[in-house]
A and B are shown apart, each in its own frame.
Chain A
Amino acid sequence: MPSIENATVILQSLQRAGIEVVASLPDAFLVHVIEGLEASNEFLHLPVTREEEGIGICTGAYLGGKRCAMIMQNAGLLNASNALTTTALQIEIPMLLLVLYAGGRGDISFPMLGQVTEGVLGALRIPYYIPETIDQVPDLVAGAVVQTYNAKKPVAIVLHKSVL
């Protein structure tokens, strides 16, 4: 089950990387991260109802000078694919995507979703990193945030449930 300790590491990683605005949609494994975002004064937490909105919101907040992240399940990544393509990639908007890997290695939910996730990221040409352990998360988040600004496109961290 997800732990508060690991959620705290993720939130501290975002804070260290200067992320100020986080759009989110819940997944059961993201619950502590989202509760932490809501409770924190360090982040402007914007809960959305469908992930494509989050890409638009991150775009608007980026234009206003904020460093942004979108937290979602991989089903949400698929929901967000058009906005990622026609806005974030087309216009070159940096944002960090934190994507829960449902149906991934060792998981028994959404097997088809798990199989297409990395292919979708590849087709979108979105660089992505998959930490093996929570210890790898802080450096991967920091590196991904630098890369999203350097490449001027979204960069994803894909999180196995075991990392939460």
Chain B
Amino acid sequence: MLRSECLESIVDLFVDVPCFVTVGRTWTEWDALRPGDGNFQVKTLGSGSSHGLGLAMALPDRKIAVLDGDGAVTMNVNGLLTIGRLRPANFIHLVFDNKMYESSASLPTATAYNADLVKFAAAAGIESARRVTTVAEFRDAVENAFQTDGPHFIVADVESPGKATSPAYSRMDETEGKFRFIRFLEAVEDRKIYQDAIDVKQSIE
């Protein structure tokens, strides 16, 4: 199955759901399917799960999603230990495992050899860790993740899209992306979130 098919199958579940999305083609595919300010483009490879964990702890009553790849997860694999320790119930981690650094000449990752991310996550203390191999299974797993307490770790085995054309990359200044994401959260939370320096100064004095 293709990652784009998986993503397409879950778009309708993502109403008002903040998403941290890893760099590269996962971003362009998701941004094309579900454009909007609720998608945060992660700039540090692997850090999406940490961003998501921080937001999940800050907003414990809202489901937070991370759209990740195997290259990103293996870069920040120790982050799974922290998720397994803190076990935020509202945290949903979707990993598209194509066994390669797709944005870097498709060179193989550790999952192309002997690494199993599902076993790793389970061993880290993430009890709801599973692998899916069909689009229907993927959709079911994500639906379940929205309906039940997590943290959920769902690895989808996907193939490379090969030479198929990627959706266009909508480039945005990073700071604009940050402000848009905060405004999105303010809209869905229906409260002020952004603190200016003057707010901070007045609160301390």
Q: Which A residues are within 8 Å of any B CB, using their own CB?
A: 16-18, 21, 44, 46-50, 52-68, 82-83, 86-87, 90-93, 142, 145-146, 149-150
Measured between beta carbons, the chain A residues less than 8 angstroms from B199 are 149
B187 shortest CB reach to chain A, Å = 13
| Contact-residue bracket for chain B | 35 or more
User: How far apart are A23's CB and chain B's nearest CB, in angstroms?
Assistant: 8
17 contacts between A and B (CB under 8 A): A21-B57, A46-B53, A47-B82, A50-B79, A52-B76, A59-B51, A60-B20, A60-B50, A60-B52, A60-B55, A61-B58, A63-B181, A64-B185, A68-B54, A82-B44, A146-B200, A150-B197
Given contact pairs A60-B58, A93-B178, A47 touches B43 in the complex (Cβ within 8 A) = no
Contacts of A150 in B (CB 8 A): 197, 200-201
Q: Which residues of chain A come closer than 8 Å to B57, judged between CB atoms?
A: 21, 44, 46, 57, 60-61
Tell me which residues across on chain B come within 8 A of A44, comparing CB atoms: 57-58
Give Cα A150–Cα B146 distance, bound, in whole angstroms.
37
> Taking CB as reference atom, which chain A residue is nearest B79?
A53
Say what secondary structure dominates the interface of chain B. helix
In whole angstroms, what is the CA distance A52 to B120 when docked?
A: 20
Chain B residues with Cβ under 8 A from A145's Cβ?
200, 204
Cβ of B174: which chain A residues have Cβ within 8 Å of it?
Answer: 90-92
* B181 and A86 contact, CB distance less than 8 A: no
Residues of B within 8 A of A62 (CB): 54
CB-CB under 8 A for A65 and B58, given A50-B78, A53-B78, A86-B44: yes
Q: Are B200 and A52 in contact (CB under 8 A)?
A: no
Q: A67-B195, A146-B201 are in contact. Are A58 and B178 (CB under 8 A)?
A: no
Q: Roughly how many angstroms separate A10 CA and B82 CA in the complex, as a whole number?
A: 25
> A43 to nearest B CB, angstroms?
11
Residues of A within 8 A of B2 (CB): none
B49 neighbours in A (Cβ, 8 Å): 56
> Do residues A146 and B204 form an inter-chain contact, with CB atoms below 8 A?
yes
- Chain B contacts of A52 at CB under 8 A? 44, 47, 50, 76
Output the nearest chain A residue to B58 by Cβ-Cβ distance: A64
Assess whether B54 is in contact with A67, with CB atoms less than 8 Å apart.
no
B112 within 8 A of A: no
Task: Known contacts A142-B204, A149-B195, A150-B197; decide if A66 and B58 are in contact (CB<8 Å).
Answer: yes
Q: How far is the CA of A145 from the CA of B205 in the complex (A)?
A: 12
Out of A48, A53, A57, A92, name the residue touching B178 (CB < 8 Å): A92
- Asked if A149 contacts B76 (CB within 8 A), the reply is no
Q: Is the CB of B54 within 8 A of A59?
A: yes
Given A18-B203, A92-B175, A145-B200, verify A56-B51 contact (CB < 8 Å).
Answer: yes
State whether the Cβ of B59 lies closer than 8 Å to any Cβ in chain A: yes
